[in-house]
Amino acid sequence: MKLFSLIILFLSPLWPIGENPTDQSPFVIVNKATLQLAFINEGEVKEVFPVATGLTKDLTPEGMFNIIVKAEQPYYRKKNIPGGDPKNPLGARWIGFDAKDTNGRVYGVHGTNKPETIGHRVSAGCIRMKNENVIALFNEVPIGTKIWIVDTTDSFEKLAKLKGAIKK
C-alpha cells in the first residue's frame, strides 16, 4: 500500500517537481525563532500569522517538506476525540506534511482549542494556529505545497527569495 501511494504521488500532476517552489506557486515558511508562519503566493508574502511550535526547538522538525494531507474537523486519534468536539486539540483543520516519513499524520499545521498558547513553544512538535487563521491557510494551500521550517533571524522576504518563491 505504501509503495502504491508513493507511485500515485509521484505521478500526480499536483506533485511539485524539484526542491524549491516557483514564484507563482503557494509556499509556506514557518520560523521557529519568531513563532510565525508566512503564506507566500504569486511572488509575494500574502500573510503572516502567529503560531505555536514544539516545547523544545528539536520537537518541531526543520527542513523543506510537502503538504500531503488536509482534513477538515480532524479526528484526534491519540485520545479518541471526534472532529468538531471542543476538547479536540487539533482545532478546525489539519494540514499534514511529510516530515520524518510520517505520511502527514504526525506533523502538521493545525488549529487549536487553546488559542492562548499561540505565540509560545508548547506543542509536541506540530505547528498550532488560531482556528480562523488555519482555516484561511487551509483554503489557500493545495496538496503538494512546499512548507519550509526554519529557525533564523532572517526575514520572510529574504527566505522566500532564497528559495525562488519571490523573484524581486
Q: How far apart are CA 121 and CA 128, in angstroms?
A: 10
Nearby residues of 69 by Cβ (< 8 Å), 6 or more positions away: 94, 95, 96, 97, 103, 104, 105, 108, 143
Among 32, 70, 93, 110, the active-site one is 110
Quick one: which of 90, 93, 69, 70 has its CA closest to 78? 90
Q: How far apart are CA 107 and CA 125, in angstroms?
A: 7
Among 51, 99, 126, 141, the active-site one is 126
Q: How far apart are CA 119 and CA 53, in angstroms?
A: 8
Nearby residues of 4 by Cβ (< 8 Å), 6 or more positions away: none
Q: 29 and 159 in contact (C-beta within 8 Å)?
A: yes
Q: Is 126 a catalytic residue?
A: yes
Residues assigned a catalytic role: 110, 126
